[in-house]
Amino acid sequence: MRRAVLTCALSLLALTGASQAADYSKAVWSVASGQSGQTPLMDTNVMGEMVMRAWVAPRGVPVQGLMFIYMPKLSTNHWAVMLVEPQGQPGEFFGARSLNFVRAAKKDGQTANLYTLGDGMFKGLYLMDGKVKDKRGQMMHFLMLLTPQMAQQEPDPADFLK
């Protein structure tokens, strides 16, 4: 009897979607690409070489901040998206259920792990998941999505630690 109840409960969870992780990839890209209509707090263009846009608490993405970095003078493939204090699992923000570990770094309690995304909207791109100290010495969690061109092959996570 217990086995039948357990099987029924698991089936119900699967049918209701409660067992599936969130997928914020479309919302992240909508904000980062400017399609969401949300006005960035910061919008800079440094002589056509680097474009940076930053949003605070963008609608539809459970983060404190989102930053888009683009280097059009190098190529259209040189871009990155950084999320500050994400509330969820790393793969949820980029639609990935599979993260392939590349390397890690640790220094003074700070950590940075580098992965490639194994599936989803951004399959094949790099994901840096880190906890670093901000200017006040407080720990800050960040996720950074990088194109291979932006990462210039495999970036060293240690470069992100102070």
DSSP 58-113: -TTS-SSEEEEEE-TTT-TT-EEEEEES-SS-GGGGGT-S-EEEEEEEEETTEEEE
CB-count exposure of residue 109 (10 Å: 0-12, 13-18, 19+)? exposed
pTM value? 0.83
pLDDT at site 21: 72
Contact 64, 56 (CB under 8 A): yes
pLDDT at site 3: 47
pLDDT at site 147: 95
CA distance 43 to 67: 10
List per-residue pLDDT tens for the chain, 162 residues long.
444 433 443 344 444 444 457 999 999 999 999 999 999 999 999 888 899 999 999 999 999 999 999 999 999 999 999 999 999 999 999 999 999 999 998 988 899 999 999 999 999 999 999 999 988 999 999 999 999 998 874 566 667 666
Contact 117, 99 (CB under 8 A): yes
